[in-house]
Amino acid sequence: MAACHCSLAATMSRTESEQQPDPTSVHRPSRASSPALLVLIVSGAVGFAIMGDSLLYAILPLAARQLVLSPQQVGLLLSANRLIRLFSNSWLGVAFARFGPYRTFVISAILGVLTTALYGFEFGFLLFLAARIGWGVAWSGLRQGTFQSIWAGDPADAGRLMGLKWGVVRGGSAISALIGGFLFDHFGFQTTVWIIAGLSAVAIPIAFGLSWPASASLKHGSEQKGSGSGSPTGNTESDQESHRSDHEILGGWIEALSDPLQRAVLLVGFFKLLLNSILVATASVFLADRFDDFTGGFLLGLQVGALAGIVLGTRWFSDLFLGAAMGALADLVGRIRLTLVLVFLLCLGLTLMMTVQNNLSFVALLGVLIVSTGVNVVLDAYANQAALATNHPQMFVATYATASDLGSAVGPLFAFWLVASVGFATVYGIAALLVVLTLLYLVMLDARYTKLQTPVSGGL
């Protein structure tokens, strides 16, 4: 009985310590009865919160003159949230570890909704810039929350839960772009922003109603290992390991840049997201240019705002539907062959975009963005395989994500100024050429590694 009592006390003690990472939710009833449900609810909150950001890509370039914004200022606004993420990702990671997911996620959701509301106040460029920076910080927290919701599940289900996460989040982006484009054409910028802000506000009660299990924090696992050792040196070793990991970030870059295949993956990641961000940021002004003074065709009655919303909505929905299909196709025909086909289709689509007008240009842009999604999927497969061949896979993934985020930030920053200076064809053409050259270089290296039968690459 004494042994049983001690075991029960130890169990109760561990249960209490499991709640320690997030004391605000200790007495909250658990409504997320499964990891999938938790991921669904968290992603739903993020899907509502992201609506304001997604809306801007569809309508801000079209409303620039009304808002007295120059093309350069529009580019900076669409990049500011990504630039700040190069720093805020780490800040929010520390905040989640220190304060737990509940409070940090709630604050991130509130900040995200407030930034959307600020877009509706026409107080000038500086307030708009502050709102965009605020959204970047909020997105770092919201994205971290989605990852921690996945941690609550079985690692074997991580891929399925990740697909569920992105499907729900990108669904919010697509719906916002589709609705926002139509609203902008009929009611203008400010009214559209307020309506989307109202929808976005649903994220706040969802965040408040969440109940986070202790398993959603990896910090708990580390603490449990340390306490289970029964030695006062357990926590010290854990702290030393954490301290050492902080200094491995630079080591991750050094290792990645010293290996030809890893370096090629980083280059393609940067240039591919550079092209993708340019296409998404300038889609509405490209369509406005191509549909100038056009009144006929199968899209009769739809104005540029609605067309841009359809294009971007389709682009974000394709993230959900193409992921599994491209993965299966890569397994069927080989990653190298699929990459070459996608490169050909990307070049063909961009050529059509630059040489046709009106309805065909709309179809070509739509096709390019869908093919671009396929390239992203294949590139992620390359990055995953390259990571598995490194000494520190998680460090390579972080390095690859940072390189991609940098490309996403640089794209809109210079796209509008360059388009105004040299035109769409030159900007799209140079960005696409860089993607094609680096992709072909990556394919060449992958083929070489395949012949050498290394574990880095799959078959042809």
Full pLDDT tens readout for the chain, 460 residues: 444 444 434 443 433 334 344 444 433 434 444 888 998 999 999 999 999 999 999 899 999 988 999 988 999 999 999 889 888 877 887 888 888 889 999 999 999 999 999 998 877 899 999 999 999 999 989 988 888 887 777 776 766 777 788 788 988 999 999 899 899 988 999 999 999 999 999 999 999 999 888 766 654 433 444 444 343 444 444 444 444 444 555 666 787 788 888 888 899 989 999 999 999 889 888 888 887 654 444 454 567 788 888 888 888 887 777 766 776 677 777 778 888 898 899 999 999 988 887 778 888 888 898 888 888 778 877 776 777 677 766 567 667 877 888 898 898 888 888 888 899 999 999 999 999 999 999 888 888 876 665 444 444 4
Q: pLDDT tens across 12-53, in order?
A: 343 333 434 444 443 343 444 488 899 899 999 999 999 999
Query: What local confidence, expressed as pLDDT, does residue 216 receive?
Result: 65
Domain count, the chain: 2
Half-sphere exposure of 387 (CA within 13 A, CB side): 16
Query: What local confidence, expressed as pLDDT, does residue 128 receive?
Result: 94
Residue 312 lies in a domain: yes
What does the alpha-carbon distance between residue 40 and residue 32 come to, in Å, rounded to a whole number?
Answer: 9
Identify the domain boundary among 191, 214, 237: 214
292 and 388 inside one domain: yes
Residue 356 lies in a domain: yes
Residue with tokens 């304060």: 99
204 and 255 inside one domain: no
What does the alpha-carbon distance between residue 451 and residue 460 come to, in Å, rounded to a whole number?
Answer: 10
Query: What local confidence, expressed as pLDDT, does residue 324 receive?
Result: 63
Residue 130 lies in a domain: yes
176 and 275 inside one domain: no
Torsion angle, CA of 105/111/117/122, rounded to 10 degrees? -160
The enclosing H or E element of 111 equals helix 101-119
Residue 175 lies in a domain: yes
199 and 254 inside one domain: no
318 and 386 inside one domain: yes
187 and 90 inside one domain: yes
CATH number at residue 184: 1.20.1250.20
Residue with tokens 């998404």: 280
What does the alpha-carbon distance between residue 19 and residue 27 come to, in Å, rounded to a whole number?
Answer: 9
Domain span at residue 98?
31-214
What does the alpha-carbon distance between residue 449 and residue 264 come to, in Å, rounded to a whole number?
Answer: 13
What does the alpha-carbon distance between residue 96 and residue 118 come to, in Å, rounded to a whole number?
Answer: 26
Q: Please count the other Cβ atoms lying within 10 Å of the Cβ belonging to residue 49.
A: 31
76 and 172 inside one domain: yes
Q: Tell me the torsion sign for CA atoms 15, 19, 21, 23.
A: negative
Residue 232 lies in a domain: no
Q: pLDDT tens across 403-438, in order?
A: 888 898 898 888 888 888 899 999 999 999 999 999
Query: What local confidence, expressed as pLDDT, does residue 132 receive?
Result: 95
Query: What local confidence, expressed as pLDDT, does residue 131 receive?
Result: 96
Identify the domain boundary among 194, 214, 234: 214
426 and 289 inside one domain: yes
Identify the domain boundary among 170, 198, 214: 214
188 and 323 inside one domain: no
176 and 258 inside one domain: no
Residue 79 lies in a domain: yes
What does the alpha-carbon distance between residue 156 and residue 178 come to, in Å, rounded to a whole number?
Answer: 35
What does the alpha-carbon distance between residue 270 and residue 28 come to, in Å, rounded to a whole number?
Answer: 43
Query: What local confidence, expressed as pLDDT, does residue 230 receive?
Result: 41
Residue 243 lies in a domain: no
Query: What local confidence, expressed as pLDDT, does residue 307 receive?
Result: 80
Q: Are 109 and 428 in contact (CB under 8 A)?
A: no
307 and 417 inside one domain: yes
98-118 b/e (C-beta count within 10 Å ≥ 16 → b): ebbbbbbbbbbbbbbbbbbbb
172 and 286 inside one domain: no
Closest to 80 (Cα-Cα) out of 47, 110, 118: 118
As given in the structure block, the two tokens for residue 263 are: 């370096």
Query: What local confidence, expressed as pLDDT, does residue 27 receive?
Result: 38
Residue 26 lies in a domain: no
Centroid of chain to Cα 186 = 30
Q: What is the pTM of this model?
A: 0.72
